[in-house]
């Protein structure tokens, strides 16, 4: 990918700051952290190892590892004195929580689609707490509806293209039985307002923001995308992991350029709508 270009942020006070991306301004204010890559590498490698266990079919062992990661990161935030490392760990904590809630949620419905309401509805609580503790501004979190009428049709087109690619790679994974108005409406609501919004808040508004601040824009985007790809190991398909990593790069760059959470949440949601419903039922 090419070099990142800075965005003009109207909320900054000085001409020098106006030329910088929000994460660049935050990074300039933070003192340099010694061995910060070591602090990041340990939990990231542990999360990757747990996800590879899921990929190999060892679900129970993977849940145990994720539980240990969750405990380790939680206790580390109590003992690590550096505030930047603390906030990075708070952001990473959301990934084992996401996986543990997903794997341990009882099945309330025969149709898996409706279980996503419980999974992502519960995740709203820790995600909201983590977003507050990160102390990002609304601009940095991407909470804006600017250009939303452009982003809605754009996200539908992107969802169709990227969802088609995922279908060709991962195959059929239906969550609805037909293309009735009710089925499509329920699929769209759940995928956009539950799955897309919660996951993009985790990966982009919180994790990517924090890693950009700590390690720079390019590295933050790449690390977030690697984790995003690995967290799709449940399909047991290495091509799916690689593809979702690339989707993570694309969506992460969209977020970097626009700082619009609605855009990336809609795009993520419509990818799932086409992948889990429309495309497999049509073809």
Region of residue 3 (left: phi > 0; alpha: psi -120 to 50; beta: else): beta
- DSSP 8-state symbol, 3: P
* pLDDT reading at 9 higher than 60: no
With a pLDDT cut of 90, the percent of the chain lying above it is 73
Task: Give residue 29's pLDDT.
Answer: 53
20 phi/psi in degrees, rounded to 5:
-100, 150
Number of neighbours of residue 272 by Cβ within 10 angstroms: 25
Report the chain's terminal Cα–Cα distance, integer Å. Answer: 33
* pLDDT reading at 18 higher than 50: no
Q: Tokens for 1?
A: 């990918």
Name which residue leads in pLDDT, 22 or 85.
85
Distances (CA, A) of 60 to 15, 104, 232, 262: 54, 10, 17, 35
pLDDT tens per residue, range 122-172: 999 999 999 999 999 999 999 999 999 999 999 999 999 999 999 999 999
pLDDT tens per residue, range 235-281: 889 999 999 999 999 999 999 999 999 999 999 999 999 999 999 99
User: Could you tell me which of 41, 251, 29 has the C-alpha nearest to residue 137?
Assistant: 29
- Euclidean distance between CA atoms 40 and 253, whole angstroms: 21
Task: Give residue 107's pLDDT.
Answer: 66
Q: How far is CA 61 from the centre of its chain?
A: 24
Task: Give residue 232's pLDDT.
Answer: 93
Task: Give residue 27's pLDDT.
Answer: 56
């Amino acid at each position: 990918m090419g070099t990142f270009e800075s965005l003009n942020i109207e909320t900054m006070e000085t001409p020098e700051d106006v030329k910088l991306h929000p994460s660049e301004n935050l990074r300039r204010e933070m003192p340099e952290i010694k061995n910060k890559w070591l602090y990041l590498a340990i939990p990231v490698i542990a999360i990757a190892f747990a996800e590879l266990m899921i990929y190999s079919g060892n679900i129970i062992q993977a849940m145990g590892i994720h539980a240990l990661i969750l405990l380790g990161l939680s206790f580390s935030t109590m003992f690590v004195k550096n505030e930047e490392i603390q906030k990075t760990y708070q952001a990473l904590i959301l990934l084992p929580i996401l996986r543990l809630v997903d794997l341990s949620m009882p099945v309330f419905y025969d149709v898996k689609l409706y279980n996503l309401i419980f999974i992502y509805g519960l995740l709203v609580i820790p995600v909201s707490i983590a977003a507050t503790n990160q102390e990002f501004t609304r601009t940095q979190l991407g909470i804006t509806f600017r250009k939303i009428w452009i982003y809605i049709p754009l996200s539908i087109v992107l969802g169709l293209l990227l969802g088609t690619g995922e279908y060709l790679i991962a195959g059929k994974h239906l969550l609805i039985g037909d293309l009735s108005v009710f089925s499509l409406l329920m699929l769209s609501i759940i995928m956009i307002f539950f799955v897309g919004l919660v996951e993009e808040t985790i990966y982009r508004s919180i994790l990517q923001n924090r890693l950009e601040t700590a390690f720079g824009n390019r590295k933050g985007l790449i690390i977030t995308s690697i984790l995003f790809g690995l967290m799709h190991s449940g399909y047991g398909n290495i091509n799916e992991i690689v593809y979702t990593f690339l989707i993570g790069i694309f969506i992460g760059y969209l977020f970097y350029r626009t700082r619009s959470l609605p855009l990336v949440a809609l795009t993520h949601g419509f990818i799932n709508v086409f992948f889990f419903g429309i495309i497999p039922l049509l073809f």
